[in-house]
Structure 1
């Protein structure tokens, strides 16, 4: 078995592509012939380079429009085929992808042409993988292609399958159980969103890495593996309209996606084994243990003033560093103004920002092991006297994610590394119980990469992408959640230059946490306590409340109360959602307070435009230098 990826999935010239593919962990490639024709070197030199990188060419592709010609055109088509056989032998590959012809021909002609192609391939000691194409003249489905292959019955002609073409029209993986494994020569894995469109037109737009879409790829792999398929599993080409974060990143994402998929299949069916790294189970995370900010004295004061206005209290001080613990309910906010270590480096790179978050897990070391085997860098830095060495990995935008478990002293970090602070006055909490969700903003081209990072490492499910209208553009938002909602993350992909999200990225030079939402059991009581404490809340346009009342049929008293407190509202059936926002600090970061009633599971997407319009009033004007 081989793990491979199409060279056309990776941007750059062929030398760069091969280096990125090898570094990511693949052992094979699908060589896209246009990559070779643009390569400045001979086929023999390329074969040597591939071998030196520890790779092999599993497939040469594509050969199109072989069958259906007559006369001189048919002779020319088979002459092209012979030249490709010669090239394959120099490259050292024995398999070529033949796409079903776009020409319309009767079945006997197609059968005769494919029979001759198989006979010629046998003379050269090579094989042909025949791929049905939804836009072909006649052979548009796996079923039609299989009947041709079985009738010809040659060891040199078999099927090539692409999961996108096989499943995107609604076909269930179980419907492929009749395909004998020995008739399948090559399998390409490509995902897609759940959509009702015609897949002929959608392929250019919706070829995604496994796990990024909604196709049942695990079922697809399981059916083929059970049938006896023993060839390579390959990541098919990524569509040209998808975000492309760079060759190295795409190769790493492809490897992570493929290994994660095969790991899922082997766990659901222990009789199926694949030649992949042995991974610990996907991690269940039971909550946020802490969120850490990096700042200097000036920005730290801005942050702690806002925390005070949110009715947090400073409870503990680090035993040896200028690091404070602010707490309310089960929410731990760490403020780090140290001038050394990772936090200070993050401050120099990104300014005042979230640099670290801690997640509660069952086994911290196991969590790091799975993440690193899937290509995520481990994080470490020197540990001072009396400090704990908490397992960690790099996260979004170079930030750090630490893991806290109860198997050791990790869960006692606040007692071991921090000392209580004498209280001079009592602070009445505002009813904030825990972190509801954390929103991370990134360039749109990075968004799918971070989605894979989370869903392959943690036991989390994704929701469909929602496009949020910003006054200056569009922000793409996707939520991922742990099974019981203990950890919720919103990934926001920014496009354009002047959206509120894009401005945040520009000011902090990279992806990161843009807002933290905290859960209240009574939004109106919390709002009253915040008002008494001087909380600087975001002011929402009065027009929003006129529309809200008409939308949901709210009475005047409820609408007036929402308007007076600048509370946003949403309702799905009998479930309700309430939101209060702080004014932004640090050129785009903000806090949110939410209440969920009746099992509301969303994030108030309908309110995003009103919130963004209000936040844009606080945005640094174009051309104004950063402070």
Structure 2
């Protein structure tokens, strides 16, 4: 099978409980049988894990002698052995122990295997490995984990993560080993229980993306080291969201436009050749696509009314696409009509599209080139919405890791700690990802239960999608007062929420009354404050949010999430 697929088998794993056994001759017989298998498979490297069980009273010298004998048997077959210290083994539990064994064996075909998870979890540093001889390292496995000061033996099954999903310094780990002279393969180790629901194909794609991105990052930050890095363009720096596009039909078009107009968006332009409209407020561009052909129509057919496209402003759109596709992302293209721009694009979450807009060409003039102004009617005063604050994308829980890797490896974005939110019908896992200056903020929400509000959003869809968009205002109360005159349909907040709010934060009763009157939610972290207004759900669970951030608040109102979800479910049941 490997030959038909154009693959080579670089290593066979694992072989365990070889040294220090009661019947050592039987273990050597078992080893010889493994060598026979390796010959049939065409590989010359065997991973040997340190023994989990040994006979009582085994000395270090006996362990070294047994492994030296194994190395001699392997040498007769031109086979190499890579010895890995397992944290749950009986005697050899750490890299330093395994290094002593390799030195004691002293044979050129017996070397060290390292796993970044075992080497770094528990607070260890890559610098602890700087005196290694790269020629004695035969195999390296890369696996991430949370940065927890906990016994690694308790973490293995739960936290074996793809590189980039945890908190370990894998960049430093790779660079230290490369400086030491390691020339072998870099591999992805097994993932923990959290990744078991992921399909083999998706896990392979994610593993490739994670591995290539890590090696490229390490190589780019220290050009003198030798790594098999592909030389990718740098992660794209995001300048903001240029537009959000909805796919609708005639009925849902009216519903969506009515909600947008109730938030004081103005219809400003129409496409020169398609049934596509542009609504604006501040720096926010909302595209409503009800055309009966093209990608948006197919998106509507698959998902119903939905966000089908997002335009992201970057420094160089060509390089952004080049990096994304080199990491395995699917390129997107469709026929370009007369007078239209060919805007570079890739596939995004749930089969949606991400377009890249830059100022190196005419791409940033798309609204002037492809759209015509509409005749103004009655002027709609703005509500103070300045820009898109963040976008929340909902997906099945086992898809979150794939999309986190997608964003973190394609763009210059950082992840925050994952938050578990209690929905009345289950748990939702929320993973914030954002650019360094906050130009692009995303919340990736994994629906774990079948009856959560997030899960009901997914129920009638094929794949993940954008479930809500938050707009930023400088004055939530002024915006709220303006929306009162536009019949904006707000999510109703329970009365006891405000009683709890007043006590929890010792707020001025007059401020609490103002928030109660506008169904405004509130969170405070130190001196930083956050205010939120939610629309009622539309489109089987989609909704809008309006937020104000004060004194450098950086969160997303996590303490309000459970209350908001309960209110949305209540609203949905009424509907």
Q: TM-score, normalised by structure 1?
A: 0.90
Deviations 1:214-266 (A, max 9, x none): 11001000000000000000000111343532111110100000000000001
Secondary structure (helix, strand or coil) at the match of 1:204 reads coil
Q: 1:483 aligns with which of 417, 424, 436?
A: 436
Give the Cα–Cα distance (whole angstroms) in 1 for the partners of residues 193 and 173 of structure 2: 24
Larger displacement relative to structure 2 (329-338 or 118-127)? 118-127
Deviation of 1:201 after TM superposition, in Å, equals 1.6
- Is 1:87 matched up with 2:40? no
Per-residue displacement from partner, 1:474-499 (whole Å, max 9, x unpaired)?
Answer: 00000111110000010000011110
Equivalent residue for 2:492? 539
Q: Which whole-Å CA distance do the structure 2 matches of 1:353 and 1:486 have between them?
A: 23
Matches within 5 A, 1:402-413: 402-413=355-366
Residue by residue over 1:363-409, the C-alpha shift from the partner in whole angstroms, topping out at 9 and shown as x without a partner, is: 11111111001000110001110000100000000000000001111
User: What residue number does 1:460 align with?
Assistant: 413
Per-residue CA distance 1:120-157 (angstroms, 9 max, x = gap): 11111101110001110010000011011012211111
Matched, 1:61 2:4: no
* 1:524 match: 477
Query: What residue number does 2:185 align with?
Result: 232
| Contact 2:239/2:312 (<8 A) preserved | yes
Aligned to 2:2: 50
> How many Å apart are 1:52 and its aligned residue?
2.6
Query: Does 2:46 match 1:96?
Result: yes
Per the normalisation by structure 2, the TM-score is: 0.98
Residues 301-359 of structure 1: CA deviation (Å, up to 9, x unaligned): 00000000000000001111111000000000000000000000000000001000000
Could you tell me which residue of structure 2 aligns to residue 23 of structure 1?
none
- The residue that corresponds to 1:12 in the other structure is none
User: 8 Å contact 1:316–1:324 — kept in the other structure?
Assistant: yes
Note if 1:556 corresponds to 2:506.
no
- What's 2:27 paired with? 77
Cα distance between partner residues in 2 of 1:262 and 1:326: 43
Unaligned residue ranges in structure 2 (runs of 5+): none
2: distance between equivalents of 1:547 and 1:591? 25
Query: For the aligned residues, what is the CA RMSD?
Result: 1.1
Q: Which of 454, 460, 467 is equivalent to 1:501?
A: 454
Q: Take 1:379 and 1:537, find their aligned partners in 2: how far apart are those partners? A: 37
**In structure 2, distance between residues paired with 1:548 and 1:141:** 50
Equivalent residues of 1:67, 1:103 under 8 A apart: no
CA apart distance, 1:507: 2.1
Query: Paired residue for 2:351?
Result: 398
Corresponding residue for residue 361 of structure 1: 314
Query: Aligned equivalents of 1:179 and 1:206: distance in 2?
Result: 26
Deviation at 1:197, TM superposition (A): 2.4
Deviation at 1:462, TM superposition (A): 0.5
The whole-number CA distance in structure 1 between the counterparts of 2:137 and 2:463 is: 44
1:170 counterpart SS class: coil
Whole-Å Cα distance in 1 between the matches of residues 253 and 26 of structure 2?
73
Q: Which runs of 5+ in 1 are unaligned?
A: 1-48
Matched, 1:305 2:255: no
Contact 2:112 2:139 in 1 (8 A): yes
Hey, what does 1:589 align to over in structure 2?
Answer: 542
Does the 8 Å CA contact 1:317/1:418 hold for their aligned counterparts? yes
- Provide the C-alpha distance between the structure 1 equivalents of 2:503 and 2:10, rounded to a whole number of angstroms: 61
Where do 4+ consecutive residues of structure 1 move more than 3 Å? none
Q: Deviation per CA, 1:188-208, whole angstroms, max 9, x where unpaired?
A: 000011223221021001001
